[in-house]
Each structure stands twice: as C-alpha cells, then as structure tokens.
Amino acid sequence: MSLTSVEVETIPFEGQKPGTSGLRKKVKVFMEKHYTENFIQCIFNTLDDKVKGSTLVVGGDGRYFSKQAINTIIRIAAANGVSKLIIGQLGLLSTPAVSSLIRNHKVLGGIVLTASHNPGGIRHDFGIKYNIENGGPAPTHFTDDIYEHSKKIKSYKFTPKLETDRLIDVLGTTSFKVDGNDFVVEVIDSTADYVRLMKEIFDFKKLRTLIRGTEQRPPFNVLIDSMNGVTGVYVRRIFVEELGASPDNNVFRIVPLDNFGEVHPDPNLVYAKDLVDKVKGNSYDMGVAFDGDGDRNMIIGKKAFFVTPSDSLAVIANNLECIPYFQKHGVRGFARSMPTAAAVDRVAEKLNKEMFEVPTGWKFFGNLMDAGRLSLCGEESFGTGSDHIREKDGIWAVLAWLSIIEHKNMSIEEILKEHWSIYGRNYFTRYDYEEVDSDAADKMMQHLEKLLETKGLIGKSFYSGGKTYKVTKADNFSYVDPIDKSVTDNQGIRVLFDDGSRLVYRLSGTGSSGATIRIYIDSYEKKDVLSDAQEMLKPLVTIGLEISKLKQFTGCDEPTVIT
C-alpha cells in the first residue's frame, strides 16, 4: 500500500535540552501531546539533508513508554524520507549493542530509548538519545542544534496510516511505500550482532573453562544481576548459553521489565544492595551488576570486596595482553574522565602509553578513539570500555575481568592487592546528594566559583583528623579536545592539595528533577594501601563539606549515596 505523509502543526516545548546523555524527563512529560514527536523531528531537522535515504538503528532498555516512542519514531522517520530502520526485537537493544550495530552496518546513526540508570515505569523516567555514525553519543554541538530547533519548531512530519501494531514483536523485514519512496523496518535479534563481536574480542573457550571449572580448578562462581534491565537478554545468551553459567545460581533479575521491577537500576553499593548482600552471605567468587541500558557495570569480589571503577580501569589497563582483541590490534592510549581517580595514569606511565583526561561523559572519548589514539577508557560512574565500540560496555567489562582472572588464576582481591603493591593506591569515594533543591545547588556552586575568582583558597591550609591539607591549585575544569580543538568549559570545580589529594564538585547532568550534587574525593597513598577507603578519606570529606558549605546551602546532613 502506498502511504502519504502529512505535516502536523505543533508549538515548541521548553527545556528540550539534552543533558550529559540525551533528553531525560518523567514519562508523563514525554506523554504530553506532541512532546516526543517534536523532539524526534528536531533530531531529523538537525541531521538535515543526511536524513533522506538513510538507515538508523532504534532500540533501548525496554522501559515504560519505549514501544509508544518507537511507534512514533517509525512514523516520523518514514515521513522524513528515512529508508530503513533497524530495530531490536520488542524494542530491546542495550546501549553498547546500538553502538556496535551502527558501526557494523555503517549507518547514519541510532536513536537510543533509555534513561540509563534512572528508575523506569509510569511514574519515573524516560529518555531519548541520539548516537552518531561512529556509534557514539552525539557531540555537544549536535545536541545544542537539537535544542535550538526545539525552540522554534512549528510542525513535524508524520505518516499516520503506517501500521505499527506488533511490528517490532517479530523478527523480519516489512516494506512500505511512503510518498513514493521505499521504507523498510527490519526487526533483528537484539543479541546476535553483539554476541558475535564479544566472541571476536574474547576467548570464549577459556572463559567457559573458567566458569565451568576443570579437574584442577573449581568452577568460578559468579552472580550476575541485570537489575531487570536490558542486559538480561544478553546475560542469558552469553553467560548462560555460551559460557555455561547456571541459570538458577549464577544470574538473577534477567527478565527485562518496563519498570525494572521497581528496582533503581544503577549498579552501585546502595542500589545494587541485593546483589551485595547475596555475595556477602554466600560463597560467590564475583558479583556483577549492570544498569538499565547495559553500559554501566559494578564488580565486587568474594564477600563483596568492592572494586572502585577507577581501580577496575587501572587493573584492566595493566592486563590487556591477555585479551585476544588487544593482542591483535595492539594497545594505544588510555583515558579517564576528570573526576575519576588517577590509578590508570600510573599504569599508562609505566607502560609508556598516552594518557588523556576528559570531562564527564562518554562522548568525549569518541574523537580520540576515531583518531586511533585511545584503546581503553573509563569513568568513576561505573563505566568501562574500549575502542571496540563508542559507548561504555558493562558486559565487555565483565568479560575483560573474567579473562584477567582466568589468565592470572587469582581472586579479585588478590589481583587488586597485587596491583596496589606495585602502583600504590588511589583511595576514592563519591558523595551524592540527590534531589536537592536546584536553586540551593546552584548557589553552592556559585559560592565555589567565587572562591575561585578571589583565589582565596590557594595556599590555604585545612586541618582535619590530625592531618593538614594545603591547597595548591583550584580551578573549574576546562577541556580542549586534542583532535578537533573544541573547548568545553565549566566541567567541575577542582581543589588540589599539596599531597596530591583532590576534591571535585559538580552537578549531575543526568537527573530528571531537582539537582544532584556530587563530591568526588581522592587521595593517593604509596605504601598504606590496605586501609578502609571511607576511614582514610574522612578528613578530606570533612574539608570538602567545609569548603563548599554544603550543609548551609542545601540543608542536607547526609549524602543519599556513597560509592
């Protein structure tokens, strides 16, 4: 049947400004008449003449409103002259899988339907993110353009008669004629392409031996928690079917639910407490959790021995040679986001690799990877990944850890302790104050800015817990991209002390209501590497609260999350 598109009149909505990682709002906001349609049309308006005849990948973590959003995307894409949409079955694709599909099929880009680690369900968050042709999140100039279009949009294109009912439930290709052009929807297996990629990167045979055990070595007992997010389908395929993990004992919460079973799908010690408790109380060798869309990961060892993401990155960097992908392609530079502790920097120095420090947000790694200067990177926000795609990748990180464990035949705790004995240890913690009044949070940041302007902090000494810390430098982090020379300012306030310790303050860019203040605290010790991180960092935390006057500004006594 030949279909015709129409132009639907609309008016702009305020606040369609993508944050660190796409546009995130409450579901009810996306449900407002024309709201989702406007934003999708603005993506196409930004892509402009690249849209006609293009192919895009579409999918997400399956959270509430995903299916409605996909139906809308199909109808708007067809009306804008897109030739083909590649969609994960039931709309499910992890963020790393989208990245991999974009690269593999060499298409224009992808639309990812997720609010990542934010809660899902009718009362919670939805999100839309655009990824560009390298498979990575759209850079700031692109998302700024989307925002500009959103302020002046007058109409969107739509194909009202295009039948989308159950279209994404079954595998296969459906063809339409829209305004005389061919338009194809191809519904694909959400896992096939991604599993193939993981098999190219890792030695699945060795990993299976690790998981199943041998005569010499007992099975390596993992517990993987998908927190009812999209990784469930990948975990079943990879860990259960390929690597022989037990569906009853080694994995849980692996059925994706549109409200994540009311779990907050953020893999940290607070929100993944169920996993932590299970690992603590049983004989598991390793515990793993992922976020809703599968790009974040948390790794814990026996008895819930916590691996900070900054250390996880450093350990992987130090052991890349046991992963076939790096044997084949070699290892280029390493990178981390500014608030991430500098453990990996020490590995880079020893291995003589280039090291980059970028602002928070995975999009900042893309240019470096495309230029062939970056192999491995990570962030304190539970993100780890490599240049195999342009997103962080939770499952990849776990397979990397398993490869290292298999290779070294050591426990996670032993690996960390060995690492610290060689490199020293960057003690790290992050304090989050969630859903703080936005005005109060802004005022606190302005107060810090003022301290920078007056240079009042430099040279000042602070005393806490029997130690004195002297400020040597304080600034607001600014980044010049070494490849395209673009400048990104105001990326977090840093206070650096004479012993190398550091306090960083920034506001989260991924929330959907109120503000979240993050304070990152880190301190390097060469010899005393086995102490408790919270104990070690207590004096600096006290100083951090004193400098920022956080309590006075926000009224918060305690953080909501400590990682």
Contacting positions for Zn ion (CB under 5 A): 116, 291, 293, 295-296
Q: Which is nearer to Zn ion, 285 or 291 (CB)?
A: 291
Q: Which is nearer to ligand G6P, 256 or 339 (CB)?
A: 339
Distances (CA, A) of 436 to 164, 512, 559: 41, 12, 10
Q: In angstroms, rounded to a whole number, what is the distance separating the alpha carbons of residues 128 and 56? A: 14
| Residue 293 interacts with, from ligand G6P, Zn ion, none (CB under 5-8 Å by kind) | Zn ion
Q: Which of 197, 177, 146, 167 is nearest to 86 (CA)?
A: 167
Closest distance of CB 101 from ligand G6P, Å? 18
Q: Establish if 386 lies at the interface with ligand G6P (CB under 6 A).
A: no
| Residue 379 interacts with, from ligand G6P, Zn ion, none (CB under 5-8 Å by kind) | ligand G6P
Q: Establish if 89 lies at the interface with ligand G6P (CB under 6 A).
A: no
Q: In angstroms, rounded to a whole number, what is the distance separating the alpha carbons of residues 109 and 112? A: 10
Tokens of residue 432, six digits? 């989050």
Residues 6+ apart with CB under 8 A from 301: 285, 286, 287, 307, 411, 412, 413, 416
Report the Cα 545 to chain-centroid distance in Å. Answer: 27
| Residue 91 interacts with, from Zn ion, ligand G6P, none (CB under 5-8 Å by kind) | none
Residue listed under structure tokens 């045979």: 205
Q: Which is nearer to Zn ion, 71 or 116 (CB)?
A: 116
Q: Establish if 114 lies at the interface with ligand G6P (CB under 6 A).
A: no
Q: Which of 21, 66, 94, 116 is catalytic?
A: 116
Closest distance of CB 383 from Zn ion, Å? 8
Q: Is 100 labeled as catalytic in the residue annotation?
A: no
Contact 543, 462 (CB under 8 A): yes
Contacts 24+ apart (CB under 8 A), 179-184: 179/3, 179/4, 179/5, 179/79, 179/81, 180/2, 181/81, 181/83, 182/83, 183/77, 183/78, 183/82, 183/83, 183/84, 184/83, 184/84, 184/85
Q: Establish if 266 lies at the interface with ligand G6P (CB under 6 A).
A: no
Tokens of residue 536, six digits? 């070690």
Sign of CA dihedral 226, 246, 96, 485: positive
Closest distance of CB 370 from Zn ion, Å? 22
| Residue 61 interacts with, from ligand G6P, Zn ion, none (CB under 5-8 Å by kind) | none
Q: In angstroms, rounded to a whole number, what is the distance separating the alpha carbons of residues 523 and 110? A: 39
Q: Which is nearer to ligand G6P, 427 or 520 (CB)?
A: 520
Q: Establish if 21 lies at the interface with ligand G6P (CB under 6 A).
A: yes
Q: Tell me the H-state helices in 261-393.
A: 273-281, 309-318, 324-329, 343-351, 363-370
Q: Which is nearer to Zn ion, 39 or 290 (CB)?
A: 290
Closest distance of CB 14 from ligand G6P, Å? 21
Closest distance of CB 355 from ligand G6P, Å? 18
Residue nearest to ligand G6P (CB): 508
| Residue 285 interacts with, from Zn ion, ligand G6P, none (CB under 5-8 Å by kind) | none
Closest distance of CB 99 from Zn ion, Å? 12
| Residue 143 interacts with, from ligand G6P, Zn ion, none (CB under 5-8 Å by kind) | none
One of 83, 116, 426, 429 touching ligand G6P (CB under 6 A): 116
Using CB under 6 A as the criterion, what x/- string covers residues 481-520 for binding ligand G6P? ---------------------------xxx-------x--
One of 81, 135, 139, 383 touching ligand G6P (CB under 6 A): 383
Q: In angstroms, rounded to a whole number, what is the distance separating the alpha carbons of residues 288 and 276? A: 9
Closest distance of CB 381 from ligand G6P, Å? 4
Q: Which is nearer to ligand G6P, 326 or 362 (CB)?
A: 362
Distances (CA, A) of 517 to 275, 336, 554: 26, 20, 10
The footprint of ligand G6P on this chain (CB under 6 A) covers a number of residues equal to 14
Q: In what order do the strands lie in the sheet with 251-252?
A: 251-252, 222-225, 286-290, 297-301, 306-307
Q: Which is nearer to Zn ion, 292 or 544 (CB)?
A: 292
Residues 6+ apart with CB under 8 A from 72: 36, 37, 40
Distances (CA, A) of 70 to 167, 197, 494: 10, 26, 41
Q: Establish if 20 lies at the interface with ligand G6P (CB under 6 A).
A: yes
Residues that bind ligand G6P (CB under 6 A): 20-21, 116, 337, 360-362, 379, 381, 383, 508-510, 518
Instruction: Tell me the catalytic residues.
Output: 116
